[in-house]
Each structure stands twice: as structure tokens, then as C-alpha cells.
Amino acid sequence: MPELPEVECVRRSLKRLVVGRRIGAVRVIRSGVIRGEKTNDGLLVGDRVERVVRHGKQLAIVGRAGGCVCVHLGMSGQLCVLPRPDERDTKPTPLQRSNTPAGSTHAAATPWPNALPAHTHVVWLLDGGLALRFTDPRRFGGLWTFAHFDALWAERWSRLGPDALTITPAGLHRRLSGTRRGLKAALLDQALVAGLGNIYVDELLFGARLHPMTPADAIDRAVATSLVGRARTLLRGAVARGGSSLRDYVDAQSRSGSQQLRHRVYGRAGLRCKRRACRGVIRSGQVAGRTTAWCPNCQPGPEPDANNRDTYPQSARTPKR
């Protein structure tokens, strides 16, 4: 669920709360979520947070000594900064213990926060009495540790396209003209442009009045320019509203956003098009393997492949506003 705006909101709130703080200790509850060195060094223990960087949907917490932890929130990941419980509050009770996955080690020499919500995988203890928690029920997200920020770029972020907020019209045009895929598939491809997901691609295509199956290489320079402008407006607006909180998205201060109230097609299958002059009904179907919503009036184009099942009736049953 977190796409560029939500990840940017996490970055900003995280930056306010953790930059300059020292990481005193880390507790790894589920080590499987960490790829790369699972050592104290890899997880910045003993280091001080220098900055928090975002590219596309990914974050990096960079330490002063140069190491960094890349965070991908996947579908349900959260990074939350909270006051760390007092030592006297951290004595595990039977109830709290039952939340702890079997196999986790309770090396309780340090005052660990024990009253952890379910699906908490990693907890960093910061100075100033704060704790940073990584939680992710569905575990589509994860952490990648790197000795240097450059290594994160070399090994991971270089595979991504330009960030959706900084891509140039010429850059997008060139990249789109290199593929015959539909716009929906192309814009979801993080190697083409980084940061867009299912929600914002649908919203962007609606705003630009482009059908999701429009061949990407049919986009001319002028339309690419318009897409870049619309994407910036859409994404910046969403950041200003704190992102889209559909299910469980919150920023590092546990605040939810309100952009979901402005969605014009996503989650609105079966409902009336919000464009005043349009009487259309939003439909949805499978495009590029994703549930896709569009207005057939505002976004004329081919119907999806006849073999694709049309999920319209099912989606219409549960309009998410």
C-alpha cells in the first residue's frame, strides 16, 4: 500500500524524530526480514543517524559512519517511533510473552521494550528515550543492510528508474517509447519510473484521460510532459495530505493521511465518475495482472482482454469511498 507519497511522509516524520540520535541497541525478533549483515554494525548500532533518504518507494536510514539500512515497507510495513517503556514496565508478563514468536531470544540484559505489538520484527533503541519499530504483518517488506550508502545504490537502487517526483518529461518519454506494454504495466514497473503503485497509476491515468491499456510507445512528447506534470501535482498533493490511509498506513508518528478521500477511480468501481460532465460508471478489471479502475467515458480505449475476467461486480460491492 505505501507508494511514493506514503513513503515520503514516513521519511519526513522519521527525519524529524531520529536524525542526530544515537542508536544504543537493536533487537531483532524475526531475522528473516533482514537481508545482508544482521550484525550490530550492519544495523547501525553505536552509530548516529545522519539522514533519511527516499528513492521511489524505498527508504534508507544513513548513519554518520557511512553504513545504511534500506527499508522497503512492502504492503503493510510500518516504521514507528515511540517512547520507549521504562525498565520497570518491560518485565514480560505471560500475556506479552505470548506475542513473542517462538525462537526469539530474550537476552534481557538491556531494558528491551517487551510490550510489542504483533508482527514487530526489529526494534532500535535510540537516545532520548525513544524506540524505532519495524512492523510488517504480511512481510512483503524487509530491511537490507549496507556498509556504505554507495553500496545501496550500486547493488539495489541503480536497478530502479528515476524517482517519479524528479523524472523529466524527456526521460519519461524516452523510457515509455522503449516498451510496447500498456501504460498501466509500464508505469508500475519500478525499473522504468520509481514510486508509482496501483493506486497512483490509476489516479494518474484518470487525470490524464488515458486508458490503462494505451500502448506506452504511442505516447508522444507532449503527452509525456503532461503526465510528468500531473504526476508531480498528484504526488505532492498526496504528500501534503499525509498520504492515503486505506487500511493500516500511518507515518512514523502514527498519523494517518486523508488522500484516500480524494481518490477518483481507485476503489470506486461501480460508482459514478466524479467528473461533473461525465455520466460514466467507473469499471474495474484485471490489467497487467492488477485490479485496475478507470472511467470508460473519460478514458476511452480497448476493453481489457476478453479472457481477463471482469472483476467489476465484486469490486462494486465494497466501495472504499
Task: Tell me the Ramachandran region of residue 224: left when phi exceeds 0, alpha when psi lies from -120 to 50, beta otherwise.
Answer: alpha
Least separation in angstroms between CB 102 and DNA: 13
Angle in degrees, 0-180, between the axes of helices 221-240 and 4-18, rounded to the nearest 10: 40
Annotation says 57 is catalytic = yes
Q: Residue 126 or residue 183: which is nearer to DNA going by CB?
A: 183
Least separation in angstroms between CB 202 and DNA: 9
Least separation in angstroms between CB 199 and DNA: 7
Using rule CB under 7 A, residue 31 touches DNA: no
- Candidates 247, 255, 272, 321; binder of DNA (CB under 7 A) is 247
Within 8 A by CB and 6+ apart from 277, the residues are: none
Q: Residue 16 or residue 174: which is nearer to DNA going by CB?
A: 174
**Residue 49 grid coordinates:** 543517524
DSSP 100: S
Burial 229-255 (b: 16+ CB within 10 A, else e): ebbeebbeebbebbbbbbeebbbbeee
Report how many residues bind DNA under the rule CB under 7 A: 36
Binding mask 272-301 for DNA (x = CB under 7 A): ----------------xxxx----------
Using rule CB under 7 A, residue 98 touches DNA: no
- Using CB under 7 A, which of the segments 122-130, 133-141, 145-153, 223-231 binds DNA? 133-141
Using rule CB under 7 A, residue 321 touches DNA: no
**Residue 140 grid coordinates:** 512483503
Annotation says 3 is catalytic = yes
Please tell me the distance from the alpha carbon of residue 237 to that of residue 250, in angstroms, as a whole number. 17
Least separation in angstroms between CB 296 and DNA: 19
Using rule CB under 7 A, residue 72 touches DNA: yes
By CB under 7 A, the residues from 149 to 208 that bind DNA are: 178-181, 185, 188, 190, 197-199
Using rule CB under 7 A, residue 57 touches DNA: yes
Asked if 132 and 28 count as a contact pair (C-beta separation under 8 A), the reply is no
Least separation in angstroms between CB 18 and DNA: 23
**Residue 301 grid coordinates:** 480505449
Q: If you write DSSP's letter for every residue of 12-68 in order, what string do you get?
A: HHHHHHHTT-BEEEEEES-GGGEES--STTTTTTT-BEEEEEEETTEEEEEETTS-E
Within 8 A by CB and 6+ apart from 233, the residues are: none
Annotation says 169 is catalytic = no
Catalytic residues: 2-3, 57, 290
Tell me which residues touch DNA (CB under 7 A). 1, 3, 56-58, 72, 74-76, 118-119, 137-140, 178-181, 185, 188, 190, 197-199, 247-248, 288-291, 311, 314-315, 317-318
